[in-house]
Amino acid sequence: MQCPDEIIDLMHQYLDEDIKTEDEISLREHLRSCQDCQVHFHELKKAVALVQSTSSMAAPAGFTQRVTANLPKEKRKAGAER
Amino acid sequence: MEEIIKKRIKQVLKGDQNAFGEIVELYKDKVFQVCFRMLGNRHEAEDMAQEAFVRAYVNIQSFHINMKFSTWLYRIATNLCIDRIRKKKPDFYLDAEVAGTEGLNMYSQVAADTVLPEDELESLELQETIQAEILKLPEKYRSPIVLKYIEELSLKEISEILDLPVGTVKTRIHRGREALRNQLRHL
């Protein structure tokens, strides 16, 4: 079965949390009657959840010291005149 | 947060390098994370994140104090990563670690002297798989997806970071999500 592309667009609008109420209602109605779109929607939400499930990461130890060691020594003296 | 940053920036403008160190402390994890998710290699990610901070320091005069500092910093970092991805040649990988082991090394560092229980190992493998799939995305979809789903930024902020209209960001996120759906559906 081939559903109109607009239904897929509505799924993305929903996932962006940027969907009009009436569009959300028609999306829900369509999903109730269309198994293919249910699967598609479920797979989209699953992909998002998996990407969101990746652990947050910390910069390696000593990161800040390495940055400050690499800063140019003589900063252009804009407004730092003596 | 933004208030503290603005105060520190004013100190940096007066030549105080220690104040810049405090800015690095506050943002290093976020910047490193963006670089790692974009590049998939811990070593390269650190290089790019370091370079991003050095550039921010050198160009601090061009930062508009009314802008959100993190937006400006993310822009520098993502541009560096995008350039790196575009310049990447296949032989770049010759002396790199075997793809997919990178994150595992990193995660195992955390619990170096404890044996990982089975479900944690599984979740490490899952993390590796997801990261590998993110890396398969073309760069133009990868950047907005990472900014949205890893850094949890708004579409408006992503559009400012990538210097693209919000509509374009949306389209790219939609396509990125479709690509990820295809890649991750069988997990």
* Reduced 3-state DSSP string for B52-101: HHHHHHHCHHHCCCCCCHHHHHHHHHHHHHHHHHHHCCHHHHCCCCCCCC
**What confidence score (pLDDT) does residue B14 get?**
92
Q: Which of A10, A6, A12 is nearest to A47 (CA)?
A: A12
Residues of chain A neighbouring B15 (CB-CB closer than 8 A): 75, 77, 80
Question: Which pLDDT band holds residue A73 (cuts at 50, 70, 90)?
Answer: confident
Which pLDDT value is given to residue B105? 45
Quote the pTM value: 0.84
In this predicted structure, what is the pLDDT of residue B137? 96
Considering only alpha carbons, which residue of chain A is nearest residue B27? A59
At A4 the pLDDT is 84
Q: List chain B residues with pLDDT less than 50.
A: 91-113
Q: What is the pLDDT of residue B66?
A: 83
Say whether B29 and A16 touch across the interface (CB within 8 A). no
Which pLDDT score, from 0 to 100, does residue A2 have?
Answer: 72
Q: What is the pLDDT of residue A25?
A: 96
Split at pLDDT 50, 70, 90, the class of A79 is: very low
Interface probe for B, chosen from A44, A67, A74 (most Cβ of B below 10 Å), is A67
What pLDDT is stored for residue A1 in this prediction?
53
**CB-based contact (8 Å) between A43 and chain B?**
yes
Alpha-helix runs per DSSP H in A2-60: 5-15, 21-33, 35-52
Looking at this protein, which amino acid is placed at residue A11?
M
ipTM: 0.85
* Residue B114: predicted pLDDT: 58
Dmax over CA atoms of chain B, in Å, equals 55
Beta-carbon contacts of residue B162 (< 8 Å; ≥ 6 apart): B75, B78, B143, B144, B147, B169
Cβ atoms of B21 and A68 closer than 8 Å: yes
With beta carbons under 8 A apart, name residues in chain A contacting B17. 68, 71, 75
Amino acid at B39: L
Contacts of B21 in chain A (CB under 8 A): 64, 67-68
Q: For residue B117, report the phi and psi dihedrals to the nearest 5 degrees.
A: -65, 160
Q: Does residue A80 or residue B85 have the better pLDDT?
A: B85
User: Domains in chain B, start-ordered, CATH in brackets?
Assistant: 1-90 (1.10.1740.10), 111-186 (1.10.10.10)
pLDDT tens digit sequence for B108-122: 444 444 566 777 777
Min Cα distance A60 → chain B (Å) is 8
Cβ separation B32–A56 shorter than 8 A: no
Which ranges of chain B would DSSP assign to H, the alpha helix? 2-13, 17-39, 42-58, 69-87, 102-110, 118-136, 139-145, 155-162, 166-184
Closest CA to B142 of B131, B153, B155: B131
**Structural contact between residues B98 and B58, judged by C-beta atoms closer than 8 angstroms:** no
Cβ B130–A40 below 8 Å, yes or no? Answer: no
More confident site: A76 or B52: B52
pLDDT tens-digit map of B39-57:
999 999 999 999 999 999 9
User: CB–CB of A63 and B170 under 8 A?
Assistant: no
pLDDT, residue B89, reads: 58
Q: How far apart are CA A43 and CA A37, in angstroms?
A: 10
